[in-house]
Amino acid sequence: MIYHEYRPDALIVHLHGPKPNHYGHFVKTGLCPQFHLLCETGFTNGLCQYVAEYARFSPGWPVVQTLGKMCADGRAAAAARKAAEERAALEAMWRAAAPTPQPAAQPAESGWSVAGQPVGGDALQAIGGPSSEQ
């Protein structure tokens, strides 16, 4: 759970969610397609501290070593901030482009109802009521 807050007193760390290779991809591209916001959350909650610990126990895994170096020199944090800013900008554009919901058109009042709901127009004709032309 590398996206939870770092706990130096933890004796067992169960890894589900993004793994170091996913975070490495996120740092390089700003994308975390399998885990979406969890990569961003991981950086916020101390990923680089986890990576330092992870690197101690997997010295032969290049992904972890590279991510550790990127954490140490600040590139990982900068990439995470940039990705978060880009995501926020995209969300703002999506909100601005979303159509404004319009209220549903109400049927013409006919005095007729089905299950307590007013019925008019074509629906009224379908149940044998008077047409709007009458």
- Under the banding of pLDDT at 50, 70 and 90, the label for residue 130 is low
Q: Where are the beta strands (DSSP E) in 3-131?
A: 112-114, 117-119
- Under the banding of pLDDT at 50, 70 and 90, the label for residue 127 is low
Averaged pLDDT of the chain? 76
Mean pLDDT, to the nearest integer, of 42-56?
84
SS3 63: helix
Mean pLDDT, to the nearest integer, of 26-54?
85
pLDDT confidence of residue 113: 60
Q: 94-121 b/e with 16+ CB inside 10 Å = b?
A: eeeeeeeeeeeeeeeeeebeeeeeebbe
pTM over 0.85: no
CB 106 within 8 A of CB 121: no
Check pLDDT > 70 for residue 40: yes
pLDDT confidence of residue 114: 61
The pair phi, psi for residue 112, each rounded to 5°, is -90, 150
Q: Point out which residues pair with 119 in neighbouring strands.
A: 112
